């Protein structure tokens, strides 16, 4: 990816730290979108430097702000604790060693109003950039910079071709794609980054057209 | 249109008789499929956030969450209004603005990472206070910010602007280099002079370590931003006087990167060395994270 003017002069963000505040808000916001903004309670497991300095850097406020749907330049981040309480969103921060991962890593466990649990693990990699490296226990890797479609499907032949055919039909050009298999339950996860924004109808289209697809996450 | 080094940038500028900002704007259009109007409207937003952060930080004496900084921009401003100062109008108004942005940053205010949050005071403070003094238009300020980003881009591409990777020289040093090059163009200097100014600033702080107390972007970061402003202004004046860098910009950037690589990890944002490892800093750390 080429470096732009606004990578050098940016991001526009709520301080004080691009890696501990802006990157954290971005991880929270991706989690919010993955959970489709349906979150009753959330637990943040903070690792390494996130665990050590989250108070001084406002990492906690930024993560929670993201969960509330605020981006890294939204001033409401400063008041995210109060806003979460107003919205009856329960939240908890737990310092935890997540193993051999980057120091600025957080594991987020979200419970929906229907009591389903979604977990997502993200790392703030510096300068406000981040990557998601785990989704519901599966290893994944995406940056959140491009519009992304994630499918969880039965690991049977032909699914990749069927999904890409639907995307082609919608005139969506794929920029990156990866497929990860989980042999323990015969499922696969596919992460597709596309080069233009799609509308949410793509979700229903994929679910209705391809029987093997169990779940779709969009953001 | 694209370039990956100072040398290539100067070659394009000279061949087509363009300013650095003009080349950077052309590059942005060709690389990211944007119109000139879209790019300038984005820069307008960026500049507006910069201006607001300058105004907001010095408004009050509120301390940061940790109490380590805050109120110092206001203090310096009052001193400047009252006394005949040593550093004088141009440097001091710049420094007041830089401290202001850093205080706003530490209070979870809105800022532009330029190129990082830890060095976010230098560029806005230098450019906007100088533009005010010389009555320069917002359009010209926007253009100067493109010049700054061209320098930031070359450093990012060939070295690093991250304190964790290259120390403070890479972070506030790069911000000052960006500011110095932009100042030169703002005051009518040519592209070669811009890169000379950028080279001076980087050379002046080569080896500067990143040693934030308690790992937070406050101490000594805010004062390093103050230094960055004066470094950029002095370097721009030297370049505008016709003094040329004897070592080309690209080689200075490479030297900075090599120094950064050799720097011990304790001195690269981990808060294990330098000012962060002093007895008093450790006491602050204990108090903050108790």
> A43 and A86 in one domain?
yes
> A118 and A44 in one domain?
yes
> pLDDT value at position A53?
82
> A119 and A52 in one domain?
yes
If pLDDT is split at 50, 70 and 90, which confidence band does A1 have? Answer: low
> A166 and A137 in one domain?
no
> How many domains are there within chain B?
1
Check: CB of residue B144 under 8 Å from CB of residue B127.
yes
- Burial class (CB within 10 angstroms; exposed 0-12, middle 13-18, buried 19+) of B286: exposed
Cβ count near B67 (within 10 Å): 11
Whether residue B36 is contained in a domain is answered as yes
pLDDT over 90 at A197, yes or no: no
> pLDDT value at position A128?
87
> A164 and A121 in one domain?
no
| Full residue range of the structural domain in which residue A164 is found | 148-218
> A192 and A175 in one domain?
yes
Residues in CB range of A41: below 8 A, 6 or more apart: A89, A90, A91, A92, A110, A111
pLDDT in tens, B13-55: 999 999 999 999 999 999 988 999 999 999 999 999 999 999 9
Task: Tell me the mean pLDDT in the region B65-69.
Answer: 89
pLDDT in tens, A139-167: 888 888 889 999 999 999 999 999 999 99
If pLDDT is split at 50, 70 and 90, which confidence band does B141 have? Answer: very high
> A54 and A114 in one domain?
yes
Asked if the C-beta of B49 comes within 8 angstroms of chain A's C-beta atoms, the answer is yes
> A165 and A88 in one domain?
no
Provide residues of A within 8 Å CB-CB of chain B.
2-19, 21-22, 49, 52-53, 55-58, 61, 73, 75, 77-78, 126-128
Angle at which helices B191-204 and B6-16 pack, to 10 degrees? 160
From A15, A21, A126, residue closest to B164, measured CB to CB: A126
Instruction: Report CB contact under 8 Å: B149, A21.
Output: no
Instruction: Report CB contact under 8 Å: A9, B161.
Output: no
Last residue of a domain, one of A115, A142, A169: A142
> A160 and A137 in one domain?
no
- Residue A46 to chain B, least CA–CA distance (Å): 15
Whether residue B17 is contained in a domain is answered as yes
> In this structure, what token pair is assigned to residue B3?
């370039």
Residue in B with minimal Cα distance to A54: B289
> A11 and A86 in one domain?
yes
> A196 and A93 in one domain?
no
- The CATH number of the domain holding residue A54 is 3.30.1330.90
| Full residue range of the structural domain in which residue B99 is found | 6-288
If pLDDT is split at 50, 70 and 90, which confidence band does A111 have? Answer: very high
> A154 and A133 in one domain?
no
pLDDT in tens, B151-188: 999 999 999 999 989 999 999 999 999 999 999 999 99
Instruction: Report CB contact under 8 Å: A22, B117.
Output: yes
> How many domains are there within chain A?
2
- The CATH number of the domain holding residue B245 is 1.10.4100
Q: B115 preceded by cis ω (within 30°)?
A: yes
Whether residue B118 is contained in a domain is answered as yes
Instruction: Report CB contact under 8 Å: B113, A10.
Output: yes
Instruction: Report CB contact under 8 Å: A15, B157.
Output: no
Residue in A with minimal Cα distance to B153: A8
**Beta strand pairing call for A138-142 and A129-135:** antiparallel
* Chain B residues with beta carbon closer than 8 angstroms to that of A61: 108
Asked if the C-beta of B152 comes within 8 angstroms of chain A's C-beta atoms, the answer is yes
ipTM of this predicted structure: 0.94
Whether residue B1 is contained in a domain is answered as no
Instruction: Report CB contact under 8 Å: B120, A61.
Output: no
pLDDT in tens, A51-104: 888 888 899 999 999 999 999 999 999 999 999 999 999 999 999 999 999 889
- Residue B238 to chain A, least CA–CA distance (Å): 25
* Chain A residues with beta carbon closer than 8 angstroms to that of B70: none
The backbone region for A127, taken as left when phi is positive above 0, alpha when psi lies in -120 to 50, beta otherwise, is left
- Name which of A12, A14, A20 to mutate to probe chain B: the one with the most chain B Cβ atoms within 10 A of its Cβ: A12
Q: A11 preceded by cis ω (within 30°)?
A: yes
pLDDT over 90 at B206, yes or no: yes
Residues in CB range of B206: below 8 A, 6 or more apart: B169, B173, B255, B256, B259
> In this structure, what token pair is assigned to residue B282?
């450790």
């Amino acid at each position: 990816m080429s470096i732009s003017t606004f990578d050098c002069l940016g991001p526009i963000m709520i301080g004080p730290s691009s890696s501990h505040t802006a990157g954290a808000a971005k991880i929270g916001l991706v989690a919010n979108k993955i959970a489709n903004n349906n979150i009753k309670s959330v637990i943040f497991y903070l690792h390494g430097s996130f665990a050590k300095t989250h108070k001084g850097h406002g990492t906690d406020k930024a993560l929670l702000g993201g969960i509330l749907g605020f981006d890294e330049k939204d001033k409401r981040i400063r008041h995210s604790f109060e806003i979460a309480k107003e919205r009856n969103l329960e939240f908890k921060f737990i310092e935890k060693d997540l193993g051999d991962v980057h120091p600025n890593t957080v594991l987020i466990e979200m419970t929906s109003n229907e009591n389903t649990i979604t977990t997502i693990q993200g790392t703030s990699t510096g300068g406000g950039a981040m990557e998601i490296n785990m989704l519901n226990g599966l290893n994944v890797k995406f940056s959140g910079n491009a519009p992304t479609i994630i499918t969880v499907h039965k690991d049977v032949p032909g699914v990749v071709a069927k999904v890409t055919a639907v995307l082609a039909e919608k005139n969506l050009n794929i920029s990156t794609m990866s497929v990860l298999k989980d042999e323990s339950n015969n499922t696969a996860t596919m992460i597709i980054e596309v080069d233009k924004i799609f509308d949410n109808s793509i979700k229903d289209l994929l679910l209705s057209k391809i029987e093997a697809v169990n779940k779709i996450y969009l953001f | 249109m694209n370039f990956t080094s100072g040398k290539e940038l100067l070659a394009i500028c000279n061949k087509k008789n363009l300013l650095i900002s003009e080349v950077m704007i052309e590059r942005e259009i060709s690389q990211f499929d944007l119109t000139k109007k879209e790019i300038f409207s984005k820069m307008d937003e960026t500049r507006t956030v910069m201006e607001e952060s300058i105004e907001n930080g010095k408004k009050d004496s509120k301390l940061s969450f940790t109490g380590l900084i805050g109120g110092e921009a206001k203090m310096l401003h009052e001193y400047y209004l009252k006394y005949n100062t040593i550093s004088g109008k141009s440097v001091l108004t710049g420094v007041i603005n830089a401290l202001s942005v850093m205080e706003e940053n530490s209070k979870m205010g809105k800022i532009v990472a330029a190129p990082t949050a830890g060095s976010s005071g230098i560029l806005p403070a230098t450019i906007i206070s100088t533009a005010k003094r010389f009555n320069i238009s917002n359009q010209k300020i926007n253009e100067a910010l493109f010049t700054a980003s061209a320098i930031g881009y070359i450093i990012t591409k060939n070295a690093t602007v991250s304190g964790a990777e290259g120390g403070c020289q890479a972070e506030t040093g790069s911000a000052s280099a960006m500011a110095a090059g932009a100042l030169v163009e703002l005051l009518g200097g040519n592209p070669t002079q811009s890169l000379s100014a950028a080279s001076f600033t980087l050379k002046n702080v080569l080896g500067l370590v990143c040693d934030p107390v308690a790992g937070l972007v406050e101490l000594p970061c805010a004062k390093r931003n103050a230094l960055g402003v004066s470094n950029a202004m002095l370097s721009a004046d030297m370049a505008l006087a016709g003094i040329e860098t004897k070592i080309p910009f690209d080689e200075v950037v490479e030297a900075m990167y090599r120094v950064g690589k050799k720097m011990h990890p304790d001195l690269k944002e981990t808060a294990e060395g330098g000012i962060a490892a002093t007895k008093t800093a450790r006491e602050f750390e204990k108090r903050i994270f108790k």
